Every structure is written in structure tokens, then in C-alpha cells.
Chain A
Amino acid sequence: MGMTITEKILAKHANLDSVKAGQFIEANVDIALGNDITAPLAIKEFKKLGIKKVFDKNKVSLIPDHFTPNKDIKSAEQSKILREFAKDQDLTHYYDQADVGVEHVLLPEKGIVVPGDLVIGADSHTCTYGALGAFSTGVGSTDLATTMAIGKVWLKVPETIKFVITGKLPQGVYGKDIILHIIGIIGVGGALYRAMEFTGDTIENLNMADRMTICNMAIEAGGKSGIITPDAITEEYVKSRAQRPYEFFASDPDAKYLEVIHIDTTKLEPKIAFPHLPSNIKNISEAKNIKIDQVVIGSCTNGRIEDLRIAANILKGKTVNENTRLLIIPTTPLIYKQAMEEGLFSIFLDAKATISPPTCGPCLGGHMGVLAKGEKALTTTNRNFVGRMGHPESEVYLCSPAVAAASAIKGEIVAP
């Protein structure tokens, strides 16, 4: 019996010839990740184990990106715990000050995560790296603590749902719309405990940014991981970045899938996730007269340079509606610099947008653009739960960067 790409990566990391869905394994971890919310707890637990050093200083990455630049004394204390631990352990992949960016954008960008890896992160959107052909999944702080100690994690080999996505994407439709569409079909628990494998010619033609957007939101369907078979586009992306040797895996033709779902994208419309669930998906044509107080373009879902270029194209020579605030968050220092050098900042500033330093910021209602009671936000982030961006009585709508930019100009949700 053949194996899926996910089973192959897991088998390799468990030093087994083969694994099958449902099996429990203890697997070697290539990168273990934590941030300023989850790592303080993990560090506290790690210290209880009575071990002096992490299992490999090149394989533990700590990234304080959520509440940085620190919003208050408490969050500053949390970051300080990371800083001191990283220094004490001499961690190679710790990023601070002007080097910090949103973790799931930073790690692939710097080639810290590479194809064929097994990555665990104490952050649910760790599934993003599936776009590189790695197995990556979110875990909790205790998992991070024990992995930092022994370099291994317990995993149950997931069953896989295969998505075969075919057809040309209509104008104004992007990777974000594909994944929102999928979550709308299968629901927020539709891929619970499962790996989501995205295949088909639509995926093969997508750039890495869109592939990362898609794998990033596997968790919004409850998925354990998302994965895309690496190809020439992946090779082009990783070859100049990879800090380690990498390996391309692919599913066998006779691999076993729990389910195969076919999606034709030729008639896909831009999608909007209405409050308060990412699965509450409607076509943009159904979003009528929804006035927006704040638009956010950023996050590990859609804060890459490609996303900013799309937004700039639409905002060029236009002005943001007088009743709407537009926040733009380039998610890493490199993206920030690129955007500046490409002249995108002038476009944004002339359009009366606010440019934030790289941070998670408002994505989780932390800081840098929190919503007041009754306010509505339209955002390129990934979650629209009650209170996600601020007041429990505020509302969050999710969309692509193109829809976000066009809607900021109009002051209400409109098609790009």
C-alpha cells in the first residue's frame, strides 16, 4: 500500500519504513517554535525538567511577534523571558528588535524551515509550512517544553483528505478565496485531526505566497496540517534561502485517502467569512451595504509582499474612505524594506493608510488597532471569532487583500 506525502515525512522522522493513519509515533523534530504568548509557559515547564540545555540550539526558534513592540508592562515581561532564555541557550533562530517578524512568514522567508521537515510550533498556524512540502502542526506549550528537551514529539499519524482543485482562477480571485471556499464547504471541524492535501492544476500554478495562505488556514477547518507537494515553484523559492539540505516528498499514486474532494475554480467569486466563524462563508455579491470601520491588511495569512503589491495596485491614486481606517502591516523586516523600496509606502501613505511595524498586533486583538464596541472590521487575517479583534461586540469579516483594499476605498465591502 502506498503512502501519502504526510505519512512519508512522518515515517522518516520516526525512523520507520512506513506508517499508517491512526498509528502513534514518536518523531524527531527539525524545528520547534514558540512565541511571546506560548514560550514563557514552555520555558517555565522546561526548567522544571531539570535539563540545562535544549536538545539542539539550531532547532529551537523563539519569535516574540504577538505583542511586540511590547504593548504594556506584562507583555514586556513575557518577551524578557524569551530574550533571557534565548541568550542563555545561545539559540540560533531567535529574532528580536528590528529583526522580528510574524513567525510563520519569517521562518520560510529565512529558510529556517525547508521541504521535508517535521516542524512543531506552539502556535496553531504552524501548519503554514505545509506549503513548502513539510509536515508542520500546532501544539501546546507543554509539547514545546518537552520537545525543547528531547527533540521528539508524540503524534498520531493523521488520515488525509485530498482536495483536487482545478481550473483557472477568475480575475480578482486568489488563494485566500480558495481556502475560505473550502472552509465554507467542510466547516470549522470538517478536517478535525486530519491532514489536508491540496493538489490539482490550480494549486500547481499558484505562487508560494498563495500556497502559504492556503496551508495557513488548514487549522480553521480543524486540520492537523495542510500540505502541498513541492515542485519547481517550491524549488525556486527555497534554493536561495534554505539553511539546511532539503528533501522533496510526494504521495504515491495508490496512497490511501479518507476522502477526495473536487473543486472547480473557474466560477469562483471572492469570498467573505462573515462573523463569527471562518466557515460562515458568503460570495462577495451577497455582502451588501456592510459599512466598515477598519480594514487590516497583514498577518501570517496575507501580509506578504505579494499581498501588499496587490493592495497597492488597487490603492494607487485613491484615498481611503473618510469613515474607514486602513492599517497595513508588512509582516517581516524584509517585506517592510521591499515595500518601501518598491514605492508601495508612498502609495499607502498617499491613500491615507497607516503602516504598522511587523507584528501580529490587531490580528488577535492584542494592540495596534483594536476594535471598539459595535465596530466592524474587514481583514485579511484568519479568524473572526467573537472578540477576536477587540470588543466582544465588534465584528470581523475575513477576505483577500484585493477585497480589503477595494473596500477600504469604498468604506463598505465591495468586489475588487
Chain B
Amino acid sequence: MIFKGKVHKYGDNVNTDEIIPARYLNTSDEAELAAHCMEDIDIDFPKNVQPGDIIVAGENFGCGSSREHAPLAIKASNVSCVIAQSFARIFFRNCINMGLPILESNFYQEIKSGDEIKIDLDTGIITRLRDNKKFKTEKFPEFMQNIINAGGLMSYVKNKI
């Protein structure tokens, strides 16, 4: 799978309250969640984000609550992939389980907001389009790969029932 898009870059410890503030959690309507995605740290994100865009962040992205509304809000914003130096555990799980591609990479310093990048999920190679510089990411362990290949945890379990 290949994704291409513009980078929206954030810092360390972006938490789920920032990804989707709790005041909007009285709904699980995807479009409504997307309309408020990231707004407490980047008020223009819902307006600026284009289909295929990529979120890049530092350490511990998605820390805080277990709300699946957070990856859901990102997915519903049509973000194709999230790349961080590390992810909070439950957020990481939730992304795998719902099939939102995420990658751990150390290219954080090298990428700026607005950069266009290309991601090849199969090889784990990220290309910065302005100068074709390539970065390598960690591949998923086989167990997780199986869940992703099945199309998320729901299909994975469905196949087992």
C-alpha cells in the first residue's frame, strides 16, 4: 500500500483530549468527530486537512484515554497514516484494531509541516518528495501484521468464529 500526502507536524505527548476533546464525546458520529479533530492544539486542522494527508508527531502520540473516538476522528479526517517516534499503548492498539495505518519512525527532526511525503507500507520506506530522501521504519511483528492483513480486528475475529 502506498500513501502520499502533506505533513501536519506536532510535538511530543499529543493526548487524546487534544485529538478529540471530551466535550464532543457525547457522539460517535464520524463526521462530527472529524470536524473537531485536533482543534485544541491546531484550530485550523479540520479546515486544512486534505484527503491522504499524514500526521507526524514526536514521542507518546495518543496518550491519555482509551477513546477510540481519537483514531476514529483522525481516520474520518481522511488522514492516511500517522507517523510518530512512539505511540501510547492503547492508541497504538486501537489503530491496529481499526485499520488506521501507523508507523514508528525516527525521521521526526527531518520533516517539516507542509512537506510532502510518500509512504510504502510494504517496504516500510518513507520518501521526502522535495529531495527524494528516504527513511526506513520498523515493520510490524507478524501477529499484528495478520490483524492488519485481515482488515482489522473485527474481520480477524470474524474469520475465527
A interface with B by C-beta (< 8 Å): 24, 37-38, 40-41, 44-45, 48-51, 66-67, 71-72, 74-75, 78, 121-124, 126, 138-143, 145-146, 149-150, 154, 188-189, 192-193, 222, 224, 277, 364-366, 370, 383, 385-388, 390, 392
Contact = CB atoms under 8 A, between A and B. Distances in A.
A364 B69 CA distance: 14
B147 to A, nearest CB: 7
A187 B52 CA distance: 33
B64 A123 contact: no
A392 B17 CA distance: 10
Interface string B60-97: 10011111110110000000000000101110011001
Interface stretch (B2-10, B24-32, B109-117, B125-133): B24-32
A51 B154 CA distance: 12
Interface in B117-150: 141, 143, 147
8 interchain residue pairs of minimum CB distance = A140-B94, A189-B60, A74-B26, A142-B97, A24-B143, A140-B68, A138-B66, A124-B66
A235 B104 CA distance: 43
Interface string B34-62: 00000011000000000000000001100
A188 B72 CA distance: 23
Nearest to B157: A146
5 contacts: A50-B158, A140-B67, A141-B68, A365-B21, A385-B18
Given A123-B65, A124-B90, A192-B89, A150 B97 contact: no
Contacts of A192: 60, 86, 88-89
Contacts of B68: 38, 41, 122, 140-142
A72 B26 contact: yes
Given A71-B26, A193-B89, A140 B66 contact: yes
Given A124-B65, A365-B23, 13 more contacts: A41-B69, A45-B154, A49-B157, A78-B28, A122-B66, A123-B66, A124-B66, A143-B94, A154-B143, A193-B89, A385-B64, A390-B23, A392-B40
A37 B25 contact: yes
A413 to B, nearest CB: 23
Contacts of B105: none
A154 B147 contact: yes
Of the four ranges (under 10, 10 to 19, 20 to 34, 35 or more), the interface on chain B belongs to 35 or more
Given A145-B154, A192-B60, A138 B18 contact: no
B60 A188 contact: yes
Nearest to A66: B25
Contacts of B21: 365, 387, 392
A64 to B, nearest CB: 12
B22 to A, nearest CB: 4
A325 B28 CA distance: 32
Contacts of B66: 38, 121-124, 126, 138-140
A239 B157 CA distance: 37
A146 B153 contact: yes
B28 A365 contact: no
Given A188-B13, A365-B21, A124 B64 contact: yes
Nearest to A49: B158
B27 to A, nearest CB: 5
Contact of B161 (A149, A188, A385, A392): A149
A139 B64 CA distance: 12
A191 to B, nearest CB: 9
A192 B85 CA distance: 12
B15 interface: yes
A414 B125 CA distance: 53
A139 B153 CA distance: 13
Contacts of B25: 37, 66, 364, 366
Contacts of A193: 89
Contacts of B17: 364, 383, 385-388
Nearest to A223: B89
Given A72-B26, A123-B66, A150 B160 contact: yes
B63 A188 contact: yes
Contacts of A390: 23
A51 B88 CA distance: 31
A4 to B, nearest CB: 18
B13 A189 contact: yes
Nearest to B156: A146
A129 to B, nearest CB: 15
Given A140-B94, A142-B152, A386-B40, A44 B28 contact: yes
A401 B117 CA distance: 49
A37 B64 CA distance: 14
B147 A365 contact: no
B154 A142 contact: yes
